[in-house]
Amino acid sequence: MSDELATEQVDPGQVDTEGLDAAELALLKSAGAPAPGPIPFPQGFRSGFACFVGRPNAGKSTLTNAIVGEKIAITSSKPQTTRRIIRGVVSRPDAQLVLVDTPGLHRPRTLLGERLNDLVYETWSSVDVIGVCLPCSQRIGPGDEYLLSEIAKLPKRPKLVALATKTDLVGPERIAQHLMKIASLEEKLGIRWETVIPVSALTGDQVDIVVSELMEHLPPGPPLYPEGEVTDEPTETRIAEFIREAALEGVSEELPHSIAVVIDEMVLRADRPKDKPLMDVFASIVVERESQKGIIIGHRGERLKRVGQEARLQARELLGMPVHLSLHVKVLQDWQRDPKHLNRLGF
């Protein structure tokens, strides 16, 4: 790739920030870019945004983590696990891809659900390409077709890449049948696939192909993040998500939606030597009813202890130092339906 910087306004070596939204301008600013105005960048360089869509358990967050090469999004068998916009960054010599992991589109039953759906539509309208995750282990059904029909209604329709995920769970014959079914959706729904890629996030099979294909459909532009940065997610938020992920496992269908986590304080232990640091993390697990509090704590506190152990291991790996994690459970009555509670919890 040439290191020569472009100077022509209409050349692919330059980008004009006039058409960017607030989030994209903020990203450019965080990368050290002047605003507004053209930003010089190496000839042929591409940058932009992509997101994955699909039904619950379609492998969206798992694929995001596999592509980024680091766990930035929690995974769970529970629907609507993802609640925030999480950005992962993949940098190559000739391109930078920003992967946006979003909540799943669903029929909202609470104010929180309505706000999450709003985030989804906003993201779909702002990305350059959407990867549609269609697991080989599941039949394509009305839920998949509904998602695609909603995307087709967007005023600014992103490019679509079909991803036949979870190829590790089925045999070659089933994969071939699934790919044919995916191809038939073009005529049925009036959409156009740029390509169809079978992929396994678990084994890594064809993950690099997915990255290359997504980057191929990005517009010319400068890097949006510094080289080496994999996410703009704050450390405290990532640790809160580790705790929530551990708390989600083994609970009933309704309880996962009622769980939120807040980091109350995170500070280095003052009396420790510099070569043996210890991070103290104090966090609250928030539920909506007193009965749910008992479920999270468990018999003699055993369940809460297990949640702490699992989350602490991930926090230690992230921070690169030992972590003392102190958890307590509190009740915010019907927080999913209360605007004040939602604002306090960052929604």
| 141: containing domain | 14-216
pLDDT of residue 54: 85
Question: Residue 285 falls within a domain, yes or no?
Answer: yes
Residues 175 and 253 reside in one and the same domain: no
Residues 203 and 239 reside in one and the same domain: no
Residues 185 and 246 reside in one and the same domain: no
Residues 163 and 244 reside in one and the same domain: no
Domain boundary among 183, 216, 249: 216
Q: Where are the beta strands (DSSP E) in the chain?
A: 14-15, 39-40, 46-53, 86-92, 95-101, 129-133, 159-164, 193-198, 260-268, 279-287, 323-331
Distance CA(38)–CA(220), nearest Å, equals 12
Better pLDDT: 67 or 255: 67
Distance CA(202)–CA(98), nearest Å, equals 21
Question: Residue 2 falls within a domain, yes or no?
Answer: no
Mean pLDDT, residues 301-325: 96
Any idea what the CATH number is for the domain that residue 154 is in? 3.40.50.300
Per residue in 76-134, pLDDT (tens digit) is 766 566 667 788 999 999 999 999 887 766 565 677 667 777 777 788 888 999 999 99
For residue 56, pLDDT beyond 70: yes
Question: Residue 9 falls within a domain, yes or no?
Answer: no
Domain boundary among 187, 216, 245: 216
Residues 179 and 241 reside in one and the same domain: no
Question: Residue 224 falls within a domain, yes or no?
Answer: no
DSSP assignment, residue 255? H
Residues 176 and 272 reside in one and the same domain: no
How many helices (H) and strands (E) are present in the chain, helices listed first?
11, 11
Residues 85 and 141 reside in one and the same domain: yes
Q: For all residues of the chain together, what is the average pLDDT?
A: 84
Secondary structure (DSSP) of 52-118: EE-STTSSHHHHHHHHHTS--S---SSTT---S-EEEEEEETTEEEEEEE-PPP----SHHHHHHHH
Residues 182 and 266 reside in one and the same domain: no
Domain boundary among 168, 188, 216: 216
For residue 156, pLDDT beyond 60: yes
What is the Cα Rg of the chain in Å?
22
Any idea what the CATH number is for the domain that residue 338 is in? 3.30.300.20
Question: Residue 74 falls within a domain, yes or no?
Answer: yes
Question: Residue 249 falls within a domain, yes or no?
Answer: yes
Domain total for the chain?
Answer: 2
Residues 153 and 260 reside in one and the same domain: no
Per residue in 242-264, pLDDT (tens digit) is 999 999 887 766 576 788 999 99
Per residue in 21-51, pLDDT (tens digit) is 545 554 544 444 444 555 677 789 999 999 9
Residues 145 and 18 reside in one and the same domain: yes
Question: Residue 7 falls within a domain, yes or no?
Answer: no
Question: Residue 119 falls within a domain, yes or no?
Answer: yes
Residues 116 and 29 reside in one and the same domain: yes
Alpha carbon separation from 304 to 69, 80, 197, 310, 322 (Å, rounded):
29, 22, 41, 10, 19
Mean pLDDT, residues 196-224: 96
Alpha carbon separation from 142 to 146, 148, 186, 257, 301 (Å, rounded):
6, 10, 15, 24, 42
Q: Would you say 95 and 47 are in contact if contact means Cβ atoms under 8 Å apart?
A: yes
CA dihedral angle for residue 20, residue 50, residue 105, residue 77, rounded to 10 degrees: -140
Residues 19 and 87 reside in one and the same domain: yes
